[in-house]
Amino acid sequence: MVRKKMMAANWKMYKNVAETREFFREFLPLVAGHERDEIVVCPPYVDVPAAVESVKASQVAIGAQDVHWKDEGAFTGEISPRMLADVGCTHVIVGHSERRQYFGETDDSVNLKLKAALGHGLTPIVCVGEVLEEREAGLTEDVLRRQCARAFHAISAKKAAKLVIAYEPVWAIGTGKTATPEMASEAHVLIRGEAAKVFGEDFAQQLRILYGGSVKPENAKALMAEPEIDGALVGGASLAVKSFVAIVKY
Ligand code: 13P
């Protein structure tokens, strides 16, 4: 089964509108004609319209970093999936560990957001991953199983068709510590197994599971060489054109 890899940038809370435009002005010519991998960039909400406009004539897709599960309502500060689709977002990150750690994201809200994103035709990139204490306590498998089972709850394989997962061990995010390709692969096998339980074996074989956590130009090639790793979700190294291009072209 050949799965097209997805190379996704998560800009987190970096770059304003002018910096967004400047990034794409430099970036797009360098990835023109690059069809081997799918390229997705997820800027902060306020940069999304500029990003969408910038990539209009290219193969690059734009995603958001979070989404609410309702279409509209009295939810101050939130952005709905309908709004994202309306401005030209095609992808959205759901359940990033920083949302879970700092902003009260739970397995249940991840499930609601995932359903909402799928309902609006967005491609959700659902993040799962253990924290250091969990890994050291031997709980990685339990944590991944729980996060997957709760995220996938009450979703049909048909509805979930666009689902993408990102395995992001929290201890590897922004720390310069990368999971070895073997460690990541092991986690991906487990996640694929959980997906197979809920959505079936065929679905699981087509499911793309990205790795995230200190992906850099220096380690991208070895990570992407693992058949279980179907792409990358890149934070810090996606902010500079040069390093993100090097990762995309691993
Ligand atoms: P870093 O690449 O900066 O470690 O961040 C990873 C991440 O959280 C991507 O979502």
pLDDT in tens, 112-167: 999 999 999 999 999 999 999 999 999 999 999 999 999 999 999 999 999 999 99
Q: Separation of 10 CA from ligand 1 center, angstroms?
A: 7
Instruction: Give the pLDDT band (50/70/90) at residue 2.
Output: confident
Among 234, 238, 248, name the best residue to mutate to test ligand 1's pocket (greatest count of ligand atoms within 8 A of Cβ): 234
Residue 13 lies in a domain: yes
Residue with tokens 């995603």: 63
Q: Ligand 1: does its nearest atom lie under 6 Å from the Cβ of 169?
A: no
- By residue count, the chain amounts to 250
Cβ-count burial 120-133 (b if 16+ within 10 Å, e if not): bebbbbbbbbbbee
Arithmetic mean of pLDDT, 3-12: 98
- Alpha-carbon distances of 180 from 133, 176, 223, 225, 244, rounded to whole Å: 18, 12, 8, 12, 20
Ligand 1 contacts CB of residue 95 (under 6 A) = no
Nearest CA to ligand 1 atom 2: 235
Domain membership of residue 230 (yes or no) is yes
Average pLDDT over residues 19-45: 98
pLDDT at 176: 87
- Is a pLDDT exceeding 90 seen at residue 177? no
pLDDT at 118: 98
Helix (H, G, I), strand (E, B) or coil at 58: coil
> Rounded distance, CA 80 to CA 224, Å?
33
The average pLDDT across 29-41 equals: 98
Is the pLDDT higher at 15 or at 177? Answer: 15
Ligand 1 neighbour 217 (Cβ under 6 A): no
Q: Is any atom of ligand 1 closer than 6 Å to the C-beta of 66?
A: no
Contacts of 50 (CB under 8 A, 6+ apart): 17, 20, 21
CA distance 112 to 19: 32
How much of the chain exceeds pLDDT 70, in percent? 100
Q: Please, which pLDDT band fits residue 1 given cuts at 50, 70 and 90? A: confident
Give yes or no for a contact between 169 and 135, defined as CB atoms under 8 angstroms apart.
yes
- SS3 label, residue 128: strand
Q: Give 29's pLDDT tier (boundaries 50, 70, 90).
A: very high
pLDDT at 100 over 80: yes
Ligand 1 atom nearest to 96, measured from its CA: 10
Q: Please give the average per-residue pLDDT across 54-71, as a whole number.
A: 98
- Per-residue confidence at 13, pLDDT binned at 50, 70, 90? very high
Residue 212 belongs to domain spanning: 6-248
Mutate to test the pocket of ligand 1, among 173, 178, 209 (most ligand atoms within 8 A of CB): 173
The structure tokens 């279409």 sit at 71
Backbone φ and ψ for 86, nearest 5 degrees, come out as -65, -35
Is there an atom of ligand 1 within 6 Å of 40 CB? no
User: Is 140 part of any domain?
Assistant: yes
Residue 237 to residue 41: CA distance in whole angstroms:
12
For residue 91, CA distances in Å to 67, 109, 153, 163 come to 10, 18, 20, 10
User: Residues 40-49: what's their mean pLDDT?
Assistant: 98
Q: Whose CA is nearest to atom 9 of ligand 1?
A: 235
The pLDDT tens digits of the residues spanning 64-75 come to: 999 999 999 999
Task: Report how far residue 208's alpha carbon sits from residue 61's, in angstroms, rounded to the nearest whole number.
Answer: 16
Q: Provide the CATH number for the domain around residue 148.
A: 3.20.20.70
Let me know if residue 1 belongs to a domain: no
Tracing tokens 């691993």 back to the chain, one arrives at 250
- Number of separate domains in the chain: 1
**Alpha-carbon span 229 to 208, nearest angstrom:** 8
Least confident of 39-48, 71-80, 175-184: 175-184
Specify whether the CB–CB gap between 72 and 120 falls below 8 A. no
Any catalytic annotation for residue 120?
no
Mean pLDDT across 77-104 = 98
Across residues 205-229, what is the average pLDDT? 97
The active-site residue, picked from 98, 105, 130, 168, is 168
Please state whether the predicted TM-score (pTM) of the whole model is above 0.95: yes
> Annotated catalytic, 168?
yes
Judge whether 168 lies within some domain.
yes
**Minimum-distance ligand 1 atom for the alpha carbon of 233:** 9
On the question of pLDDT at 178 being above 90, the answer is no
Mean confidence (pLDDT) of the chain: 97
